[in-house]
Structure 1
Amino acid sequence: MKKLGLLVFAFLVTMMAKAQAPNDAEALLDEVSSKVESYDNILIDFKYSLENTAENVKHETRGDVSLKGEKYLLNIMGTTRIFDGNKLYTIIPEDEEINISSYDPEDEQNITPSKMLTFYNDGYKSEMGKVEDLKGRKIQYVNLTPIDSNAEIKNILLGIDKQTKHIYNLIQTQDNGTKITITVNSFKTNQPLPESLFQFREDRYKDYYINRLD
């Protein structure tokens, strides 16, 4: 379960990749990015699913993340991850354990979810895909293909609500046949969030083992 939790976080990180492509696809991604950056904060409730038919593997779970600038609070699979702008706190109630580490922007594992909707990293080619009508919403898909031919990711389909310019879902297909899908159930913006939401209170976890990694 821990490993899958890390995979979820790594997959959320994947959402930040911006494609190097011309015309409509690039323009749409830039529009989505600008829209996201205009918000003071964002609250996302999402569904995560992983499926590999050949291996008879299927898993679904839900999660939520609150974002304000670089700060975030992520809940997934019983684990809470907090970034207060300087330190990362991973709280694992099942093991009564907390890992604390400094944020290193050069470490890809430490890229914050707050960047997952901004598309500023290179590494993908993009092109406009199909449009689907999902529950009355027009979803425009953008097909992202890794520039690196050795990448484990085969392709990513990014679904964007044509009216709101918010991301609706992301479908990643890997070379081994595994398909990972993240679907946004709710996307709220500019909510009244207390600053304490992104603060770690050590006195609340007196019985926990605290692992200070640096």
Structure 2
Amino acid sequence: MESIGKKLVLITTLLLFSFSIQAQDKKAKLLLDQVTAKVKSYNTIVIDFKYSLNNSRENINQDSKGNVTMKGNQYVLNFMGVTKIFDGKKTYTIVPEDEEITISTVNEKDDNAITPSKMLTFFNSGYKYSMDIVQDIKGRKIQYIKLVPTNAKDQRKEVLLGIDVQTKHIYNLIEMGKKGTKTTLTVNSFKTNQPLSKNQFTFAESKYPNYYINKLD
């Protein structure tokens, strides 16, 4: 009888734990849906960010800053000395250090194509998710959601997505690699519905008279 009683207690505990996890997942899904809806509600988004890469095993510590301007699927990204412009059809990668420009056509329907706009909603597929810790950062309540890739070949062990509970904006993104690499993207500034130049996403070849133009297609 004692053994049966212990089994019943164990089963009850497991069931309660399972229900708790499901409840957490629903809360995580609700918050992620709110983030997605907020992103899609804006006409334009301008982000200044900091990117850090660390690996204690390899003694690697790198910090970089960047910014990106988005409108729909169009964007201008400045990062690590390189500018990328996507006008809706073609991507222009401008490398001043090499005085070279690469032009390529992007298939927006390709799920594997990584774009800044997709980075704000990447979590909608390919992950298991659950609520994680809450942190108070400079008076802002940041709720973390743990994302675990469902693809076993993914080199990331897990991703922590920090969300500002009040604004429903992404505050930071922490990726933990299976080989000990940790990358962190922190949003320093998140501006929305900013007035942009009509030529904001237009590539002007005349601005780069001495650059080598490499057309991939």
Band of TM-score, shorter chain: 0.7 to 0.9
The answer to whether residue 113 in structure 2 is matched with residue 110 in structure 1 is yes
Retained in 2: the 8 A contact 1:29–1:119?
no
Q: CA deviation at 1:151?
A: 1.7
Which runs of structure 2 are paired with 1:1-214 in the superposition (5 Å)?
A: 22-105=25-108, 107=110, 110-119=113-122, 121-214=124-217
Retained in 2: the 8 A contact 1:91–1:97?
yes
Distance in 1 (alpha carbons) for counterparts of 2:173 and 2:138: 17
The structure whose RCO (Cα within 8 Å, separation 6+) is larger is 1
Retained in 1: the 8 A contact 2:90–2:104?
yes
The residue that corresponds to 1:12 in the other structure is none
Matching residue's letter, 2:117: S
Q: CA deviation at 1:102?
A: 0.6
Alignment deviations for residues 79-133 of structure 1 (CA, whole Å, 9 cap, x no partner): 0000000110000000000000011235566332112212464210000011000
Distance in 2 (alpha carbons) for counterparts of 1:24 and 1:108: 26
Q: Provide the secondary structure at the position in 2 that maps to 1:196.
A: coil
Distance in 2 (alpha carbons) for counterparts of 1:23 and 1:44: 29
Q: Provide the secondary structure at the position in 2 that maps to 1:101.
A: strand
Judge which range, 141-150 or 200-209, deviates more. Answer: 141-150
Judge which range, 51-60 or 116-125, deviates more. Answer: 116-125
Q: 1:115 to 1:144 in 2, by over 3 A?
A: same
Q: CA deviation at 1:194?
A: 1.2
Provide the aligned C-alpha RMSD in A.
1.4
Normalised to the residue count of structure 1, the TM-score between the two structures is: 0.87
Normalised to the residue count of structure 2, the TM-score between the two structures is: 0.86
Q: 1:178 to 1:90 in 2, by over 3 A?
A: same
Distance in 1 (alpha carbons) for counterparts of 2:105 and 2:153: 31
Gaps of 5+ in 2: 1-23
